Structure formats: structure tokens, C-alpha cells
Amino acid sequence: MLNLLRLRLKLTMRRSVLTVPSIATAGFLWISYSVSPLGVCSSYLLSGVFLFFIGMFFAMSINGKENDVFEETLLLHSKSASVYYASRELLLLILCCIYSLVLALAPVLLCLINSKLFMRPVEATDLALGLPYIFISGFGGMELGDLCHPRIFAKRRDALSVAALISVLSLCKVGIMGFHPVLKVLNYLLPPILDGYEAVIDKNYFDNGSLLLICLHMAIYAVIMMLIKIRILTLKRFRY
């Protein structure tokens, strides 16, 4: 599994997959922290929303460049299918960790450079809660993007449409659920992209219990999507 992971990392670094997300992350940090004073909690929550969409772009870029013949060869040389799919998931987790650390540590470093940039100093508790939130949000976006795999959606247009539909519904689900009580089921079927803002509204500190529940919700959602994806990919095998 580690050998497969090492090979996937080398292939990812050689391709241009990291270029657009890295430039987008740098631009996001520059724009987000160019105005002061900023809320510490809102900065972390906005970074989580950003990484959700960047993670979705990551996964769709990576699986869009997969070669079926090469992937089938890797599967044949793997000790088991679980090892093969575990290497795919670990690649996504590593990329998610790297960008999560960048986004989570940026407020800490900027606060040390300019203490007036935020409404209050960034505390260790903010980092301890904000980092997992950003990571889980990015992981959820990656699993949604990887679910739109070319072997699951033969046409790239369909994959993009599904990803866009779920993302838009997730952003608007609070307003949609207000139309009818039955629509409250969307709260469980869609990822909690903006739910964190309700937990800190009119507050300058994280609500620990609410944020942990949101992280748990996103983690369960991501794991379910991952299991569904692996099951479908196992059944559909390869296109050639």
C-alpha cells in the first residue's frame, strides 16, 4: 500500500494537478486577510468552505487523469482490492492535510505579525477546533468529487452537473428547508458546508459542542460517500 501511495504521489507531483489549487489558495489567503479587523471564527469557517470546493476540484482533477490500463495494472499487482483503494484514499487524505495545515496556520502567523488584523488574538483553542473543521470539510469535498468518477459517470458533463447540484443545494439548504417540513431531510442528505456559521452567529468564539457535531456529520457523510464510491467502482471495474 505504501509503495502504491508513493507512486501515486510522484505521479500527482509530476502532473499539473496541484498548480490551480495552490494558486487559488494563495489568492484566497491574500484576499481574505487583506481587510481588517477580521473575526477569528469566521476566518476558519470560510477556509473550511473554500477547502471543500478545492478538495472537490482536486479529486475530480486526479480521477479525470486516471488511465484505466495503468490503474488495472496497479490493481493486479496489489495484494488485494482493499490495498489498492486504500492507496487512493490516502493520497486524498495527504493532500487534504497539507492544504488544511496551510489554511489553519495562516491566521496564527498573521496574528503574530499583525495583532490588529483580528478582532481578538488567535488562541490555541481556535487552532485546535479550526484545523479539524477545515480538514473534515476538505475531506468531504474530496469524497464528493471522487464520487463523480469517470467510471461512475461516463460523461464528464454529468459528473460536473451532479457535483454542482449537490454543492448548490448544500449552500442553499437552510432556505430550502424552510419551505416545507419534509425538506428537513436535506439536512441529513447534504454535507454541512455552511452549518458552522449558525454555531458562531453573534459570537466571537467557537461553540465546541456544535462544531464537533458538524465535524462528525461531515465525517460520516464523507465516509458514506467513500464506501458507496468504492462499491460502485468495484462492481463497474474498468472501461477497457
Give the Cα separation of 100 and 95 in Å (integer): 9
Instruction: Give the number of C-alpha atoms closer than 13 A to the C-alpha of residue 22, restricted to the C-beta side.
Output: 7
Whether the Cβ atoms of residue 46 and residue 126 lie closer than 8 Å to each other: no
Read off the pLDDT of residues 227-236 as tens digits, 9 standing for 90 and up.
999 999 888 7
Cα torsion through 90, 21, 167, 221, rounded to 10: 20
Determine whether 122 is exposed, middle or buried from the number of CB atoms within 10 Å of its CB (0-12, 13-18, 19+): buried
Residues 142 and 28: their CA atoms lie apart, in Å, by: 18
Q: Which grid coordinates belong to 57?
A: 476540484
**CA of 33: how far to CAs of 106, 118, 176, 222, in Å?**
9, 9, 31, 29
> In one letter, which amino acid is 64?
G
Q: Which of 19-33, 83-97, 113-127, 173-187 has the lowest mean pLDDT?
A: 173-187
Residues 23-81 have pLDDT tens digits of 999 999 999 888 877 888 888 999 999 999 999 998 998 888 888 888 888 888 887 88
DSSP string for 63-109: HHT--HHHHHHHHHHSS-HHHHHHHHHHHHHHHHHHHHHHHHHHHHH
pLDDT of residue 41: 85
pTM over 0.85: yes
Q: How far is it, in rounded angstroms, from Cα 111 to Cα 120?
A: 9
Does the pLDDT of residue 172 top 70, yes or no? Answer: yes
Q: What is the pLDDT of residue 240?
A: 58
